[in-house]
Amino acid sequence: MSAHSQLTGAQPGFGNTVSHSHRRTSRRFDPNIQRKRYWLASEGRHVRLTLSARAIKTVDAIGIEAAVARIRARGEKV
């Protein structure tokens, strides 16, 4: 599963871990990605979305129909 949200487009950030001696090594800041299944009443089927925790709260606020419309507007397949 790729670490990106279908709704918000959140993806990993990159940076450095800095040790006590100030040596730097690469690291990744991954978003909190979850796979969640929603009932899409307009199409009479379930959809499984890969969403960040923040995007799940957005779906709760705007509804699944509006969220799927936004995902499709971004050009992603649902």
What is the model's pLDDT at position 1? Answer: 53
- Taking the CB of residue 35, how many other CB atoms lie within 10 A of it? 9
**What's the predicted TM-score (pTM) here?**
0.86
Residue 12, amino acid = P
Whether 76 has a pLDDT exceeding 70, the answer reads yes
* Closest alpha carbon to 54 in 2, 15, 10, 12: 10
Q: For the segment 27-53, what is each residue's pLDDT rounded down to a tens digit?
A: 999 999 999 999 999 999 999 999 999
Tell the residue number behind the tokens 């100030």, with chain if given: 22
The Cα 55–Cα 8 span in angstroms is: 6
Whether 2 has a pLDDT exceeding 80, the answer reads no
* pLDDT band, residue 55 (cuts 50/70/90): very high
